């Protein structure tokens, strides 16, 4: 089997031959990057290939989205703060546009996210006197929001991240303490959300989604949460692994161990927010103006190893979604350092496939 370098070189040579043969009209023959394999076609035997998008990238990424992806996630447009910014006022324009795009191009749609401690307007947790609402009032507001979203988009969205990031990062603390949902409703708010979601759309697949989900300390808490929900007959169908990783960490062995344990839960696994930062997490690595060849090689190697592992677990992994499409639009720019550029995805700033792309299609 040819390496990704050989495949890319063959594509370039063929393009130049066509260019010469047609008197300099190679761009027409190359149109739509016909010589580049389709991600969704390559991975159709294994799992869906998805990407998170905003309405601002639908047009620039149109060709890439239609060719390479079978599933979409709204990056922010379905979050509480985007659709219900103030009491009694709803704004669905951005979410509607993304859902309409998915309909138009026959793409699956993941819903993200219904209940999360972040990006929720303060008014959700307050009464008219600006005091905290009661458990009963907040449960009703939770139900109203879940039903509103799931009824509006139920004909397109097949899977929802019902609860996002409920597990604490603190040692010996189970559920996140800085969640107003938890503070006001109590420990059962996660179960309540899943039951409400199932009542709103009995056909939807319901997921718990979190970051650091392969790190042993967090992983074991997530497994405990899911097992407790299962024991209480709470309808939950899958776990979402956010997979905001980097080119150094976590190790393939760590990811493998987590997938082995999650697979024992008897539910689906979605890789929901995949990207590979070129910087170690919170490291003091000097900022780069552009990625070096060595960095791109390492990123390609890592992507290749990770996707080889995903293919091994394709009996439980049913969707792998990138958190973005190309390096010109990524949440990792300016994070955690203002002015820092990152290149975590498969396509570069010119929307061309990177070595990382070739490493996962050439296997």
Give the active site residues: 165, 273
Cross-strand bridge partners of residue 274? 322
**Residue given tokens 């191009």 in the structure block:** 105
From residue 223, give the alpha-carbon distance in Å to each of 159, 258, 259, 300. 20, 10, 11, 31
Q: How far is residue 60's CA from residue 97's CA, in Å, rounded to a whole number?
A: 15
Give the strand pairing for 244-246 and 268-277: parallel
Of 151, 154, 71, the closest CA to residue 108 belongs to 71
- 357: nearest Cα among 288, 249, 279, 276: 276
User: Which helix (H) or strand (E) element contains residue 11?
Assistant: helix 4-21
CB 221 within 8 A of CB 168: yes
**Is there a contact between 190 and 163 (Cβ–Cβ < 8 Å)?**
yes
What single-letter DSSP state applies at residue 285?
A: P
Contact 299, 247 (CB under 8 A): yes
DSSP 299-345: HHHHHHHHHHHHHHTTTTEEEEEES-SBTTS-TTTTSSSTT-----S
In this structure, what token pair is assigned to residue 205? 């697949």
Q: Would you tell me how many other CB atoms lie within 10 Å of the CB of residue 2?
A: 11
Identify which of 312, 313, 242 has the alpha carbon closest to the alpha carbon of residue 271. 242
CA–CA separation, 333 and 99 (whole Å): 26
Buried b (16+ CB within 10 A) or exposed e, 94-104: bbeebbebbee
Q: What residues does 239 pair with on adjacent strands? A: 208, 269
Compute the radius of gyration of the chain from its Cα atoms: 21
């Amino acid at each position: 089997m040819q390496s990704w370098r050989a495949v890319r070189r063959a594509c370039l040579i063929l393009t130049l031959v066509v260019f010469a043969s047609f008197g300099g009209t190679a761009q027409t023959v190359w149109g739509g990057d016909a010589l580049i394999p389709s991600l969704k076609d390559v991975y159709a035997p294994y799992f869906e290939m998805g990407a998170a998008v905003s309405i601002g990238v639908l047009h620039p990424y149109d060709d890439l989205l239609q060719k390479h992806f079978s599933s979409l996630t709204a990056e922010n447009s379905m979050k509480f703060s985007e659709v219900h910014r103030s009491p009694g006022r709803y704004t669905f324009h951005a979410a509607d546009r993304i859902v309409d795009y998915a309909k138009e191009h026959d793409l699956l749609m993941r819903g993200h996210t219904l209940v999360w401690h972040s990006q929720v307007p303060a008014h959700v947790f307050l009464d008219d006197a600006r005091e905290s609402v009661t458990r009963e009032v907040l449960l009703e507001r939770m139900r109203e929001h879940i039903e509103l979203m799931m009824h509006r988009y139920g004909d397109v969205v097949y899977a929802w991240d019902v609860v996002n990031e409920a597990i604490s990062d603190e040692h010996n603390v189970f559920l996140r303490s800085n969640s107003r949902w938890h503070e006001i409703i109590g420990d059962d708010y996660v179960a309540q959300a899943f039951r409400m979601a199932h009542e709103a759309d009995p056909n939807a697949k319901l997921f718990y989604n979190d970051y650091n989900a392969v790190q042993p300390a967090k992983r074991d808490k997530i497994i405990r949460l899911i097992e407790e929900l299962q024991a209480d007959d709470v309808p939950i169908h899958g776990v979402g692994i956010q997979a905001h990783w980097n080119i150094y960490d976590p190790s393939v062995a760590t990811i493998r161990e987590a997938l082995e344990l999650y697979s024992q839960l008897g539910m689906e696994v979605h890789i929901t927010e995949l990207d590979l930062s070129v910087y170690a997490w919170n490291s003091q690595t000097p900022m780069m103006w552009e990625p070096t060849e060595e960095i791109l090689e390492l990123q390609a190697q890592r992507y290749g190893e990770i996707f080889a592992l995903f293919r091994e677990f394709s009996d439980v992994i049913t969707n792998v979604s990138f958190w973005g499409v190309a390096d010109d639009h990524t949440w990792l720019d300016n994070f955690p350092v203002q002015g820092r550029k990152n290149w975590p995805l498969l396509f570069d700033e010119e929307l061309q496939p990177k070595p990382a792309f070739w490493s996962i299609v050439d296997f």
